[in-house]
Amino acid sequence: MKTLLFCGLLLGILSCEKPESDTVSPEYNDWYTVKSPIDREIQGVWGDYNKTLLITTVDRLFRSTDQGKNWQQVYRQSLGMFGVVEHQDTLFTLNGLLNSRYLINADNFSIDDGKTWQQYTRRNPIFEPSSATSTFAINPVTASTGISYQINQVFLGGPTATTGAFETPGVATSDGRRIDLPQLHQLHSLYLDKQGRLYISGTDAVCGRGQNFAFCNSQNGRGVVYISKKPLP
């Protein structure tokens, strides 16, 4: 009887243990965050934090209208989707990435705010590389003030290193500022909404480095997007 009672108490204690909390907060002093609904990195984001958000995890496209609290998968394909853009009131997914800086090659389109998608089979010069370099930039991006924001690559070989392993602690601006995020992530792309707020897409927070590399809250780098609370100057 004592053995059964002990086992019952032990099971009760174990069942009440809370899982470790997520190290990425939903809100910081200067940032909101949203997280991928699946354990995949977020490559790109489009929309408005207060209205509709779309994120792509390469092969899947998700939509949220409640600031990322709930996501609906609205499209999936085997070919990679690196981002979403708006052109003449139509949304397009793009499957090409030029020099890790510009989105090219439209392959799907939506005319209902991203709820449904159809394959795009026409050819439009706006999606060709020569136009994309000035139209669909994801790193750097330029605000209406003329200031540009670029993912900051900090090379681990020392202050003069320009090649090799690097980390991406945040963004650097064309006027010489450095804006670090609350945690370290592997960053992929940038986006400015119509209000001038900056969106930074990437992986889960990074807790291990070098041979001990690991993500803090996931196995495959579940994506995170940081959204500035105010338009950045």
Residue type at 102 in one-letter notation: Y
As a whole number of angstroms, the longest Cα–Cα distance in the chain is: 79
Residue ranges per domain, the chain?
A: 23-228
pLDDT one-digit tens code per residue, 96-146: 999 989 999 999 999 999 999 999 998 888 888 887 777 899 999 999 999
Torsion of CA 85, 46, 40, 64, to 10 degrees: -130
DSSP designation for 15: H
pLDDT band at 14 (very low <50, low <70, confident <90, very high): very low
The least confident of 49-58, 152-161, 198-207, 218-227 is 152-161
Q: What is the predicted pLDDT for the residue at 20?
A: 64
What distance in Å separates the CA atoms of residue 201 and residue 197, rounded to the nearest whole number? Answer: 13
Q: What is the predicted pLDDT for the residue at 100?
A: 87
Q: What is the predicted pLDDT for the residue at 3?
A: 43
Residue type at 64 in one-letter notation: S
Q: What percent of the chain has pLDDT over 90?
A: 74
DSSP designation for 104: E
Long-range contacts of 68-76 (CB under 8 A, 24+ apart): 68/33, 68/34, 68/35, 68/225, 71/36, 71/37, 73/37, 74/114, 74/115, 74/116, 74/117, 75/108, 75/117
Residue 206 has φ and ψ, to the nearest 5°, of -100, 125
pLDDT one-digit tens code per residue, 46-92: 999 999 999 999 999 999 999 999 999 999 999 899 999 999 999 99
pLDDT one-digit tens code per residue, 141-173: 999 999 999 999 988 777 777 777 889 999 999
Which residues, in sequence order, are bridge partners of residue 187?
202
Whether 175 shows a pLDDT value over 50: the answer reads yes
Whether 8 shows a pLDDT value over 70: the answer reads no
Higher pLDDT, 189 or 8: 189
Number of C-alpha atoms within 13 angstroms, CB side, residue 155?
8
The mean pLDDT value for 194-198 works out to 96
What distance in Å separates the CA atoms of residue 39 and residue 220, rounded to the nearest whole number? Answer: 6
Q: What is the predicted pLDDT for the residue at 11?
A: 42
pTM equals 0.89
In order, the DSSP letters of 149-189 are EEEEEEETT-TT--SS-EEEEEEEETTS-EEEEEEEEEEEE
Q: What is the predicted pLDDT for the residue at 210?
A: 74
